[in-house]
């Protein structure tokens, strides 16, 4: 069984549902992440609702390709775990490539497939484009790059794989989290 993430249509940019694009929902006082490479404000990529918490993904797009934004540790992207309670929309900074053009609901849909594969493995499901998978096993385009948690050093758990929703060089992006440490990481391959 594989749980796909399907394009569930447009929604409000602040909707508290799993989505690509729109505005991040963050705890009070959280500052919009900046890129460690170019210092510009990052682009908000996705809000992944996990029930009791959310994983928020950001990636630098101010100098596409120059900020090592595909790397989990280079500082060109950031992912966070926020407790689901009392999150509020974060206003986007005035400068920088901070928002995706469109908001797309990520609708989880279990399907009878052993693994998530290349794009051509799955056509649209009920007319909805496949934008990734939720949980399960990552489908690596290159080698296994499962990151270790910066807090406890253990291998992080796989949260979701994303396709097409942002500039991943035509490849796949991967979000991970350590539940014990409430840390998250993000990377992509092509």
Q: Which residues bind Zn ion (CB under 5 A)?
A: 35, 37-38, 60, 62, 67, 149, 151-152, 178, 180-181
Looking at the Cβ atoms of 84 and 152, the one nearer to Zn ion is: 152
Q: To the nearest whole angstrom, how small is the minimum distance from the Cβ of residue 173 to Zn ion? A: 16
Rounded-to-integer distance, Cα 43 and Cα 22, Å: 10
Looking at the Cβ atoms of 27 and 151, the one nearer to Zn ion is: 151
Q: To the nearest whole angstrom, how small is the minimum distance from the Cβ of residue 133 to Zn ion? A: 23
Q: To the nearest whole angstrom, how small is the minimum distance from the Cβ of residue 64 to Zn ion? A: 9
Rounded-to-integer distance, Cα 177 and Cα 71, Å: 15
Looking at the Cβ atoms of 123 and 153, the one nearer to Zn ion is: 153
Rounded-to-integer distance, Cα 146 and Cα 176, Å: 8
- Name which of 53, 71, 54, 61 is nearest 34 in CA terms: 61
- Token readout for 96 is 């920088």
């Amino acid at each position: 069984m594989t749980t796909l993430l399907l394009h569930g249509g447009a929604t409000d940019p602040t909707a508290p549902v799993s989505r690509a694009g729109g505005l991040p929902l963050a705890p009070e006082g959280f500052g919009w992440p900046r890129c460690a490479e170019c210092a510009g404000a990052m682009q908000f990529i996705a809000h992944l609702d996990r029930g009791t918490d959310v994983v928020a993904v950001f990636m630098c797009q101010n100098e596409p390709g120059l900020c090592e934004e595909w790397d989990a540790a280079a500082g060109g992207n950031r992912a966070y775990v926020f407790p689901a309670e009392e999150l509020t929309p974060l206003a986007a900074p005035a400068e920088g490539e901070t928002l995706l053009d469109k908001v797309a609901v990520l609708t989880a849909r279990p399907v009878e497939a052993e693994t998530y594969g290349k794009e051509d493995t799955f056509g649209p499901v009920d007319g909805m484009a496949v934008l990734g998978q939720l949980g399960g096993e990552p489908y690596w385009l290159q080698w296994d790059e499962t990151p270790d948690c910066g807090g406890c050093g253990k291998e992080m758990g796989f949260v979701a794989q994303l396709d097409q929703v942002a500039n991943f060089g035509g490849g796949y992006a991967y979000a991970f989290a350590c539940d014990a440490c409430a840390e998250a990481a993000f990377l992509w391959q092509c």
